[in-house]
Amino acid sequence: MPFQWRPGKEKVLTDKLSDFFSACSPVQIHFQNFGCFPPRVLFIDIQKSEPLENLHKKLSRFCRVVLNLFNATHKDNPFHPHVTLAFRDLKKTAFKMAWEEFKNKPFGGEFLAKQIALLKHNGKIWEVFQEFDLGQSI
């Protein structure tokens, strides 16, 4: 969920997020084929799971209650975990060709997510600002 935060207050943000994530368990992530958001986004789909859904719900509540973050458009978008492969770098005209190539290709895999990254936009791209360890093991 994109949000804005004052640069002078970033330490407060990262300290609170560190405390939050240290109380969360790592989450198993299962890749499940490819997907798209026409007309320009291609992604690897992530299978929803109860632990992943619970982490999302806890984090959303934490952001509202503790960080006082509200994103008006966030509620309109359902939780759809994915790994974006192409977005602004994919021209609309190339999207159809790329989707034809990927839409029926099987893809799978899994990993244990032990960290969460907070991204910060530098005016051109998103960069990892800080990583947070997820607390206890599964």
Predicted pLDDT at 68: 87
pLDDT at 17: 95
pLDDT reported for residue 137: 44
What SS3 class is residue 90? coil
Q: Does the global pTM surpass 0.75?
A: yes
State the pLDDT confidence band at 138, using cuts at 50, 70 and 90.
Answer: very low
pLDDT above 60 (res 72): no
CB 56 within 8 A of CB 79: yes
pLDDT average, residue stretch 91-105? 92
Mean pLDDT of 40-56: 94
C-beta of residue 55 within 8 angstroms of C-beta of residue 24: yes
Going from the N-terminus, what domains does the chain have, and what CATH number goes with each? 8-133 (3.90.1140.10)
Element (H, E) at 112: strand 108-113
Averaged pLDDT of the chain: 89
